[in-house]
Amino acid sequence: MTAAPCLMVQGTASGVGKSLLVAALCRIFARAGYRVAPFKAQNMSLNAAVTADGGEIGRAQAVQAAAAGVEPTLDMNPILVKPEADDRSQIVVRGRAVGSLRWREYSALAPVLWSVIADSLGRLRAAHDLVVIEGAGSPAEINLVVDLANMRVAALAEAPVLLVGDIDRGGVFAALIGTLALLAAEDRARVAGLIINRFRGDPSVLDPGLDLLSARTGVPILGVVPHLGEAPLPEEDSLGLDGIARDIGEPRVVVAVPRLPRIANFDDLEPLAAEPGVAVRFASRPETLADADVVVLPGSKTTVADLAWLRDRRLDGATASAARDGRVVIGICGGYQMLGEHLDDPDHVESDVASARGLGLLPVVTTFARTKTTRRVRGRVLPGGPLDAAAGADVDAYEIHCGETVVRGGAPVFALGERVGDAPAAVDGRRTGGVLGTYLHGCFSSGPLRRALLTAAAARRGVAPDPRWGTDALGDRYDRLADRVAAALDLDALGRLARRPLSVVTA
């Protein structure tokens, strides 16, 4: 069987929009009738998703798969690196955590990891018509001798490379020319097109610079993509928090989120941030929580350390004040654990601390364990509290956490009717008054749940709800994304590079 062709998107730096463009390309080629799969060999991110067989992959690859209209699999992101400290990361190989390693230890594994990457890419190419590959960081990191994500992958896949620069940051021409200048000759020859991303304003202003860029590099410019705003895609790392945070002049509802040092799965907040009239603010000071209608404690890769940071910043007291005032306080995963009475770690799985006092806002106790829970969850909202108006609504979500939480009171938040690898008829979370906690990442993706939450928060503020809350469909957003990117790129050139002509590009 002939292996499918590949097209690769690399960038001049982290956060230039590679993930978003890969999602758009997946949708564009899928709408043209091709079976498309995304691929990222090595992903460093604390935003993770769970596949149907209970393994972890980068959240961005799961969303890219959704944009392509296919089920996400472990092959789409065989190596996931989850930072735990400045010098150490948890390494997830084909969906399972294999250890917590420092850089030199990780580098020593490169030959083994490379064979995993090659096998995964081979399986994707055998099962699809096209694989759209995303690089990591920049291909011009000349201090690194181990490349598991960029030009070595391009060579393995025989993939033409699209090099992306972010003009919104400034210095895009220097970034593109400098990146090309630092590449080895054989790698530079793989770069088949340049894309300028996140442009605001009149594109004709760029014409002199584009002419010079093309002349200096000899690489064709395939398009200038506008700043897209409402991207339906999680950022890879905390650089993307500023993209999620959204403040508006006269918000109907204000959502405040403590900006934990090791915040994880912060893409949970993106559905709220996309709603009209909703301001999402990431908080490092207690006064940011003072006027919030909803406080969300997000997930964390280092829950005990981030709980200590919360106390150091006096955000614990601000969260307790919000609960006493009758405002909504929600904890997700690590945030749920923080809201409890205490967190026990007898085996020092999570930290060097054997036990830590929680915020005491929920009657639950968490004990950390070495086994990580990773599973998809399907359930429904239970009546009561700020989500009462969504009672009975379906929720498709996923769990990624270490340890078990024992409840000592309160009411459950979700009924779990279908749970991969587990018996049905379970429940999740706990609620007392307007304070609730849950292990269900992605629960805000439920339109009825968002509408109920925001309506309850608006009512307390004394403002009318927005009738559009909870009505946006992700499928529609993928199509709008594809439409806007397709209008900005040279589709004929892309079709030739991918060896997959583009004759149908609209929904």
Where along the chain do its domains lie?
6-231+476-498, 253-461
Other Cβ atoms closer than 10 A to 371? 10
The alpha carbon dihedral of 418, 419, 424, 426 has a sign of negative
Instruction: Retrieve residue 295's tokens.
Output: 């406080």
Q: What is the pLDDT of residue 474?
A: 63
CATH topology match: 6-231+476-498 vs 253-461? yes
User: Whole-angstrom Cα distance, residue 272 to residue 464?
Assistant: 17
Q: Which of 5, 25, 17, 60 is nearest to 163 (CA)?
A: 17
Please enumerate in sequence order all residues whose Cβ is within 8 A of that of 124, keeping only pairs 6 or more positions apart, or say none: 4, 37, 39, 75, 76, 131
User: Whole-angstrom Cα distance, residue 282 to residue 292?
Assistant: 11
User: Whole-angstrom Cα distance, residue 157 to residue 179?
Assistant: 21
Break the chain down into helix, strand, coil percent, rounded to 5.
Answer: 35, 30, 35
Q: Does 402 participate in catalysis according to the annotation?
A: no
User: Whole-angstrom Cα distance, residue 133 to residue 122?
Assistant: 13
Residues in the chain, pLDDT under 50: 232, 234, 236-239, 419-420, 423-424, 504-507
CA 173 to chain centre: 28
Instruction: Retrieve residue 297's tokens.
Output: 């404690």
Among candidate residues 26, 128, 441, 443, the one labeled active-site is 441
CATH class of 253-461: alpha beta
Architecture of domain 6-231+476-498: 3-Layer(aba) Sandwich (3.40)
Q: Which of 172, 141, 129 is nearest to 26 (CA)?
A: 129
Among candidate residues 6, 26, 333, 443, the one labeled active-site is 333
Q: Tell me if 367 sits within 8 A of 384, measured CB to CB.
A: no
**How are beta strands 253-258 and 294-297 bridged, if at all?**
parallel
Please enumerate in sequence order all residues whose Cβ is within 8 A of that of 466, keeping only pairs 6 or more positions apart, or say none: 252, 275, 276, 277, 454, 458
Strand, coil or helix: 467:
coil
User: Whole-angstrom Cα distance, residue 389 to residue 395?
Assistant: 14
N-to-C CA span, the chain: 31
Helices vs strands, H then E, count in the chain: 16, 26
pLDDT digits (tens, 9 = 90+) for 398-428: 999 988 999 999 999 999 975 445 544 689 9
Q: Which of 301, 401, 304 is nearest to 344 (CA)?
A: 304
User: Whole-angstrom Cα distance, residue 45 to residue 59?
Assistant: 8
Q: Which of 291, 394, 294, 375 is nearest to 333 (CA)?
A: 375
Q: What is the pLDDT of residue 424?
A: 45
The alpha carbon dihedral of 299, 286, 248, 22 has a sign of negative
Q: Tell me if 251 sits within 8 A of 277, measured CB to CB.
A: yes
Name beta bridge partners: 391.
none
Query: Where do we find the tokens 């860029």?
Result: 213
User: Whole-angstrom Cα distance, residue 334 to residue 21?
Assistant: 31
Q: What is the pLDDT of residue 100?
A: 86
Q: Which of 102, 77, 78 is nearest to 90 (CA)?
A: 102
Instruction: Retrieve residue 258's tokens.
Output: 């403590």
Q: What is the pLDDT of residue 272?
A: 92
User: Whole-angstrom Cα distance, residue 20 to residue 228?
Assistant: 9
Please enumerate in sequence order all residues whose Cβ is within 8 A of that of 390, keeping only pairs 6 or more positions apart, or say none: 381, 446, 448, 449, 451, 452, 453
Q: What is the pLDDT of residue 158?
A: 97
Q: Does 441 participate in catalysis according to the annotation?
A: yes
User: Whole-angstrom Cα distance, residue 344 to residue 499?
Assistant: 55
Q: Which of 399, 416, 403 is nearest to 55 (CA)?
A: 399
The alpha carbon dihedral of 209, 211, 216, 218 has a sign of positive
